[in-house]
Structure 1
């Protein structure tokens, strides 16, 4: 099962994307629909809302008067928090029931309006955000939903900012054009990224990448932050720490467009306990793996390696044991390159020479660099001793 988190501000066009995903075969679990369901007449949710906000939020027939509730809750932070505290747990419980009932190989699209505000983004292998500028959204809410402009602006202001949404977005769909344009981009995303992603997860196959260098991408750190958050959610207490490592963690350095992340664990048996959780997060295991030893005990260089099944974001997840030399060197090497421009330039020259040889696999590319690392390992530790570096 592959779970997709879908969100966007009110009036951004999220429903159009949700509808297209459903047409493509996704099972849509719609947070808005569930939110209405859990406050129907006779439900626990409606009773709690009346207790918190009074009888004035009810229509004459006993149903919830949504505009009346919005007018009370949305302009007031405390009252909005009370509303969310009542509705969100009920929505979460019903969402879990619907997901549990879905087929094991389904692609579940969880349409969650407050995905960002509820800090749920790291729970999903892929997060899709639909956005539009504020004035466009206000116009849509007024013209298409008949909402008073003041209410529309209150609703927008109460939700996450664009910056907060961008921080969690693996895919950003800006909806400034027509409905047809947005629908077409949603279908393309489904066919070119989501379908292969789901296939790879089901087959437990990581994305295979032909190594080639690209110029530094200023968004690599932000992408890595999302991956680290996702891995933290998957690994929980079993991870001692999780770090962005490798060349994409070094500002200004050419690199393969692959994010490398190190998960530090207490032992290799703990790493083996993470297989299913990491697969659910979109990172199937490749196999038991050993780094090239640079100390006399090769056993201390064993690790576990996972890689992303998402064709849109190749990622390597190295699981190493806390305090073992491979775990420490991954952190040391990154920090050494950041701190020493001459070493960084030397390494870049090596990378370009190796890349020019046209290696077809990452293993071949890595092996070609290894002779340089024999000396670099000792130089890096000498620098650590001189500077007092600590992992």
Structure 2
């Protein structure tokens, strides 16, 4: 099962995306609909809302007057938090029931308006954000919901801003033009990413990149790492292991293969093996076979590790699981920090990478061809560590 979080600001067109995904075969869990269910007439939720806000929030027929309640909470932060404390636990419980009843091969899309605000992003394999220009949203809210401009602006201001949503987004769908354009984006997402991702999670299959293609530095690599690390930590909770961004994408200004390298610290390889299923369930299956790092200096013994990848075809990952304080663990952090600190060696490494990518595009040959340079770089890095007092 693939768990997808879908969100977007009020008036962004998130519901149109949810409907299209449902048409394509997704199981959509609509938090707005569930939020109405948990405060339906006769429910415990409605009784608690009335106890908190008085019967001013009731319509003549005994149902919840959502407009009256909205007028109270969208201008009062404390009131909104009080309402969320009543409704959110009930919405989460009902959503969990619906997810549990879905088929094992389902793509389950949780349509959650406040996904970013309540910190749910790490609980999903993928987060999809629908982004729409504020002016367009204001026009839609006036046209489709009859809101005054002032009320629409208050509703928008009460939610996370576009920058916070973009930071949480693995996929950003832009909905500033036509419905046909939005549908085309959703169809491509379903075909090229969601369905293959679900199959990979179900079959414990990690995406492998075998050809070296260098891309220019991407300023969002650290942000992408942060989202991945949050998912890893969520999968391993309540433990709080050390997780580090390593490799070339962790060095600002360095061109690299578009693969995020992550180091997960464990007490031992036995502990790494015990975590394998939980990581796979979270979308990080283990690569088959035995894996180890090239020792520096040569002949110092094999540095064993466990290597996981990403089941997401849209975001290749190498997740190196290494024992704390082991030589491979230390080496990964030392190389990253030395290249960050030394612009001359960073420039030299970039020249080497470009030259080798041109003549040795196979990933295995590319890695082997870099060994002589790293043998020398290791000595330079150790000298730097001694001079600066560096510690991992």
TM-score under structure 1 normalisation?
A: 0.96
Q: Quote the Cα distance in structure 2 between the aligned partners of 1:324 and 1:179.
A: 54
Contact 1:242 1:261 in 2 (8 A): yes
Aligned residue among 308, 316, 320 for 1:314: 316
Contact 2:233 2:241 in 1 (8 A): no
Matched, 1:179 2:179: yes
Tell me the residue number matched to 1:348.
350
Q: Quote the Cα distance in structure 2 between the aligned partners of 1:76 and 1:334.
A: 47
Q: CA deviation at 1:223?
A: 1.3
Contact 2:17 2:183 in 1 (8 A): yes
Tell me the residue number matched to 2:369.
368
Tell me the residue number matched to 2:96.
96
Tell me the residue number matched to 1:22.
22
Matches for 1:171-210 after TM superposition, within 5 Å: 171-209=171-209, 210=211
Matches for 1:4-153 after TM superposition, within 5 Å: 4-153=4-153
Tell me the residue number matched to 1:358.
360
Q: Quote the Cα distance in structure 2 between the aligned partners of 1:115 and 1:225.
A: 17
Cα RMSD (Å): 1.4
Return closer, same or farther for 1:237/1:270 CA change in 2, 3 Å cut-off: farther
Contact 1:239 1:264 in 2 (8 A): no
Tell me the residue number matched to 2:301.
298
Matched, 1:272 2:282: no
Q: CA deviation at 1:190?
A: 0.8
Measured against aligned partners, the alpha-carbon deviations of 1:226-261 in whole angstroms (never above 9, x if no partner) come to: 112222212234453111110011111111111111
> Gaps spanning 5+ residues in structure 2: where?
none
Query: Counterpart of 1:317 in 2: which secondary structure?
Result: strand
Measured against aligned partners, the alpha-carbon deviations of 1:46-85 in whole angstroms (never above 9, x if no partner) come to: 1110010010111111111100100011110000000111
Measured against aligned partners, the alpha-carbon deviations of 1:76-122 in whole angstroms (never above 9, x if no partner) come to: 00000001111110000001111111111111101111000010001
Greater shift, 58-67 or 285-294, is seen at 285-294
Q: Quote the Cα distance in structure 2 between the aligned partners of 1:120 and 1:51.
A: 28
Q: Quote the Cα distance in structure 2 between the aligned partners of 1:91 and 1:27.
A: 17
Contact 1:240 1:266 in 2 (8 A): no
Q: CA deviation at 1:294?
A: 2.2
Tell me the residue number matched to 2:217.
216
Contact 2:105 2:199 in 1 (8 A): no
User: How many residues are aligned here?
Assistant: 389
Tell me the residue number matched to 1:2.
2
Query: Counterpart of 2:202 in 1: which secondary structure?
Result: helix
Q: CA deviation at 1:297?
A: 5.3
Q: CA deviation at 1:273?
A: 2.2
Measured against aligned partners, the alpha-carbon deviations of 1:189-221 in whole angstroms (never above 9, x if no partner) come to: 111111111122122221121211121112212
Measured against aligned partners, the alpha-carbon deviations of 1:305-339 in whole angstroms (never above 9, x if no partner) come to: 11111111111111111111111111110110011
TM-score under structure 2 normalisation?
A: 0.96
Return closer, same or farther for 1:216/1:389 CA change in 2, 3 Å cut-off: same
